Amino acid sequence: MAEIYQKEIKLSDYRKEDLIKFYREMVKIRKFDEHLIRLMHEGKVSGFYHSGIGSESVSVGSITNILRDEDYIFYNHRGCNQKIAKGVPLSKIYGDFLGTVEGTTRGLGAGIVHSADPSRGVLGQCGTIGSQFNIVVGTAYSAKLRGTDQVSVCYFGDGAASREPLHGSLNWAGLYKLPVVYICENNGYAISSTFEETHSVREHLADWAWGYGIPSCVVDGNDVLLMQEVVKEAVERAKLGEGPTFIEAQTFRHRGHFEGDAYDYVDKAVLNDWKENRDPIKSFKKKLLENQYCTENDLLNVDEEVEYEIHAAIKVAENAPLPEPNRIFEGLYA
Ligand SMILES: Cc1ncc(C[n+]2csc(CCOP(=O)(O)OP(=O)(O)O)c2C)c(N)n1
The reported pLDDT for the residue numbered 43 is: 95
Residues in the chain with pLDDT < 70? Answer: none
Distance CA 312, CA 242 (A): 43
187 in ligand 1 pocket by Cβ < 6 Å? yes
pLDDT at 72: 98
φ, ψ for residue 268, nearest 5 deg: -60, -35
At 118 the pLDDT is 96
Residue 194 in contact with ligand 1 by CB distance below 6 A: no
The SS3 call for residue 74 is: strand
Residues in the chain: 334
Q: How far is the CA of 229 from the centre of ligand 1 (A)?
A: 28
Domains of the chain: 3-259+271-295+304-321 (3.40.50.970)
- The pLDDT score that the predictor gives to residue 307 is 98
pLDDT of 259 reads 95
Residue 66 corresponds to which amino acid? I
Nearest CA to ligand 1 atom 5: 129
Question: Which ligand 1 atom is the nearest neighbour of the CA of 130?
Answer: 1
Probe target for ligand 1 pocket from 33, 56, 129, 164, with the most ligand atoms within 8 Å of CB: 129
Per-residue confidence (pLDDT) for residue 114, from 0 to 100: 87
Q: Phi and psi of 264, rounded to 5°?
A: -90, 5
pLDDT at 334: 84
How far, in Å, CA of 218 to CA of 201, rounded? Answer: 14
Look at residue 4 in the predicted model and tell me its pLDDT: 97
Please tell me the residue having the least CA distance from ligand 1 atom 6.
129
Residue 47, pLDDT score: 75
Specify the pLDDT at position 314. 98
Beta bridge partners of 183: 155, 247
Question: C-alpha distances in angstroms, 316 versus 24, 32, 206, 311?
Answer: 21, 14, 42, 9
What one-character-per-residue DSSP string does 111-161 give?
TTSS--BGGGTB-----STTTHHHHHHHHHHHHHHHT----EEEEEETTGG
Percent of the chain with pLDDT over 70: 100
Beta bridge partners of 159: none
The candidate with the shortest Cα–Cα distance to 184, out of 253, 249, 257, 280, is 249
pLDDT for the residue numbered 40: 96
pLDDT tens by residue, 238-284: 999 999 999 999 999 999 999 999 999 999 999 999 999 999 999 99
Q: How far apart are CA 177 and CA 199, in angstroms?
A: 26
Residue 136: which of 123, 145, 147 has the closest Cα? 123
Which of 4, 48, 32, 18 has its CA nearest to residue 206? 4
CA distances in angstroms from 75 to 105, 184, 226, 324, listed in the order given: 17, 10, 21, 30
Residue nearest to atom 21 of ligand 1 (CA): 157
Do residues 80 and 50 lie in contact, with contact meaning Cβ atoms separated by under 8 Å? no
- Rounded-to-integer distance, Cα 93 and Cα 104, Å: 7
Quick: pLDDT tens for 30-73. Answer: 999 999 999 999 999 987 899 999 999 999 999 999 999 999 99
Q: What is the DSSP letter of 189?
A: E
